[in-house]
Amino acid sequence: MSLSWFLFLIVTIILLQGWIYKHWGLSGLTYTRTFSTSAVFEGEEAEMVERIQNKKLLPIPWLRMESKMNPNLKFHRQSDLAIKYDEFHKSVFSLMPYTAITRRHRILCEKRGCYRLSSAAMTCGDAFGIQELNRDFRVDAQLLVYPRLLPLSEIPFPSHSWMGEVAVRRWILEDPFLVSGVRDYQYGDPLNRISWKASARTGAFKVYDRDHTADPHIMILLNIDLSEGMWDAVTDPDRIERGISYSATIAQNAIENGIPVGFGSNACEMDERNRPIRVGPQPGREQLNLILEVLAKLILVRSCTFFTFLEEELDRENPPADILLITSFVSERMENQIARLRDQGNSVDTIFLEGTTESDMTREPKKGFPEEAKGNAG
């Protein structure tokens, strides 16, 4: 065979395989991306699992999957993984006919949030680089990163044993739905307790005498406003993040002590940006998981002022509760609202969020993967 025929044959084969890959290169390929767990706490690790399958006879010499990742998810460095600017994640595969490849990537979750991966770009080509084909894949992977839990000693409770006092007081609080009789009116009794029939019959003011309950509850209310005149933007997110961690820690400890707990905030969830957050008090592990999920999805966007939020709470006229306000300030208008909440039979305490200081920012360094930490130490 002459050299010209040999070259002609080579060129024909190259063009033919390019034509084949152009028409069938992307057919029969499936791609899935999942997380090894649905939720972790801030500072913990998770695994992202990629699985790609070639369901046809044609081999794939090279295939590249690319997607944008949130930089708060730090990937452990791997030889088959490229990450650019801490955001763009790229994996390269080579697939034989009717084969599947599964890869697991370790991820360090550095910040609270709800991380959703919705799409990935697939690029493949023939062995000689003549054809390069692209396709966008839809993936539905979600990872919840719960707030970091803190020791109770780090939370500035209004008293040193606030949680213990609530646990004891839960056995002696009055139940507004259990009436044991009537008694004479005393200074400080709210007007809504007056028994008008008994008062008319006896000629003196009488009020309902409530029985006691063994099941009061805690309502945690988080204010993301930094001041009464704040605009929509939260200029000190670290301060509010600390309040979110306080909320998660208190909720967990209350549930562990058998106390029903609820949560509310004038922030909003990522999927409902026009409504404040409110989770009614309930006991049990499912309630804790619900509150942690809400805290993971909470975004630092104000749905309403905290004054408006408290007005809505007052209008609800819920059964009395131990209300814990987590806030950066208490204005004069809020003080009036707190007094009205107490008039409704609630106990109201406040945890103040101080501004972030330099020592707070440097107190706890960011964690890295164990292998990387050892390498940096050298």
- All structural domains of the chain: 27-146 (2.60.40.1530), 152-173+214-362 (3.40.50.410), 179-212 (no CATH)
More reliable by pLDDT, 249 or 190: 249
Residue 179 CB neighbours (<10 A): 13
**pLDDT at residue 31 tops 70:** yes
Token pair of 235 as six digits: 């200029």
More reliable by pLDDT, 20 or 73: 73
Mean pLDDT calculated for residue range 225-251 = 91
Distance of CA 105 to the CA centre of its chain: 22
Owner of token pair 């970091």: 148
Owner of token pair 């020592």: 359
Q: What is the pTM of this model?
A: 0.75
Query: For residue 74, which amino acid is it?
Result: K
Give residue 122's pLDDT band: very low, low, confident or very high (50, 70, 90): confident
Q: How far apart are CA 220 and CA 349, in angstroms?
A: 10
**How many degrees, rounded to 5, is the angle at CA 97 between CA 94 and CA 99?**
70
CA distances from 28 to 101, 184, 291 (A): 14, 82, 42
Mean pLDDT calculated for residue range 38-48 = 94
**pLDDT at residue 307 tops 90:** yes
Q: How far apart are CA 22 and CA 125, in angstroms?
A: 8
More reliable by pLDDT, 118 or 215: 118
CA distances from 149 to 244, 307, 361 (A): 9, 28, 17
Q: Measured in Å, how far apart are the chain's first and last C-alpha atoms?
A: 63
**pLDDT at residue 355 tops 90:** no
Phi, psi of 172, deg, nearest 5: -125, 5
Q: What is the pLDDT of residue 376?
A: 40
pLDDT digits (tens, 9 = 90+) for 2-11: 777 777 777 7
Q: What is the pLDDT of residue 83?
A: 60
**pLDDT at residue 14 tops 80:** no
Pairing of strands 60-68, 113-125: antiparallel
Buried b (16+ CB within 10 A) or exposed e, 25-63: bbebbebebbbeeebbbbbebbebebebebeeebebeeb
Token pair of 288 as six digits: 């804790």
Q: What is the pLDDT of residue 172?
A: 45
Q: What is the pLDDT of residue 160?
A: 63
Highest mean pLDDT among 124-138, 142-156, 315-329: 142-156
Average per-residue pLDDT for the chain: 82
> What region does 203 belong to: left with phi over 0, alpha with psi -120 to 50, or beta?
left
Give residue 359's pLDDT band: very low, low, confident or very high (50, 70, 90): very low
Give residue 274's pLDDT band: very low, low, confident or very high (50, 70, 90): confident
Encode the chain in three state secondary structure: CCHHHHHHHHHHHHHHHHHHHHHHCCCCEEEEEEECCCEEECCCEEEEEEEEEECCCCCEEEEEEEEECCCCEEECCCCCEEEECCCEEEEEEEECCCEEEEEEEEEEECCCEEEEEEEEEEEEECCCCCCEEEEEEEEEEEEEEECCCCCHHHCCCCCCCHHHHHHHHCCCCEEEEEEEEEEECCCCCCHHHECHHHHHHHCCCEEEEEEECCCCCEEEEECCCCCCCCCCCCCCHHHHHHHHHHHHHHHHHHHHCCCCEEEEECCEECCECCCCEEEEEECCHHHHHHHHHHHHHEECCCCCCHHHHHHHHHHHCCCCCEEEEEECCCCHHHHHHHHHHHHCCCEEEEEECCCCCHHHHHCCCCCCCHHHHHHHHC
Q: What is the pLDDT of residue 10?
A: 77
Q: What is the pLDDT of residue 168?
A: 56
* Percent of the chain clearing pLDDT 70 (strictly above): 82
Q: What is the pLDDT of residue 240?
A: 95
Q: What is the pLDDT of residue 364?
A: 47
**pLDDT at residue 212 tops 60:** no
pLDDT digits (tens, 9 = 90+) for 69-114: 888 988 876 555 556 555 677 888 888 999 999 988 899 999 999 9
Q: How far apart are CA 205 and CA 120, in angstroms?
A: 72
Listed in sequence order, the residues at least 6 apart from 302 whose beta carbon sits closer than 8 Å to its beta carbon are: 224, 225, 230, 232, 234, 266, 267, 268
Residue 321 CB neighbours (<10 A): 22
